[in-house]
Amino acid sequence: MKILYGTTNNGKLQAMKNVLKDFDIELIGLNDLEGELPKIREDGKTPLENAEIKARAYFKAFGIPVFSCDSGLYFEELIEEEQPGLHVRRVGGKELTDEDMIEYYATLAGKHGGKITGRYRNAIYFILDEKHHYSSMDMSIATEPFVLVEKPHEKRVKGFPLDSLSVDIATGKYYYDLEVKDVSTSVDDGVRVFFTGALGGR
């Protein structure tokens, strides 16, 4: 069975191929298709709503089984109105630079005793055919929790500003000071369980 992963990011496509390598499917991405891609307005209020918007648009355009994913950042200590959610880089209508983000989230951590505990909540929406839709924003596909602290690490990697504030819960070390850190294993397991249920005996 050929399934479309609704992404133009080849890195994400390859990562998902690795996760689903034991399934009897051929996974393709949007770059593998001919024709114009639909213009999509991702105006959902949650990662799951955005994943559904994208999956429905691609299914309508190409008519093959398709799934889309989205994610948002959520912290245990914050009330709903304060959650970054889908808008990790946009605050008060302003698009933050990397350094702006470090300053903003460090200040946020400072307001809560110097650290806040968060995780990325991931969502997936899969359309097998007109009658069979499957979705999840279950904790089994969320990343493991991590801590953002008030004092940033001196290291910076362009495009990943929050990594400078991220601390591993188990060791208390900055992620940048760990030799190896792979937070995707639990997410991968959850994705495999999701597709096992959705595809059943197919």
- Single out the residue of 142, 141, 133 nearest to residue 55, CA to CA: 133
Question: What secondary structure letter does DSSP report for 85?
Answer: B
CA pair distance 58, 128, nearest whole angstrom = 12
Name residue 71's amino acid: S
Find how far residue 119's CA is from the centre of its chain.
10
Helices 10-19, 185-199: crossing angle, 10 deg rounding: 70
Residues marked as catalytic:
70
Residue 40 CB partners (closer than 8 Å, separation 6+): 53, 54, 57
* Beta bridge partner(s), residue 26: 2
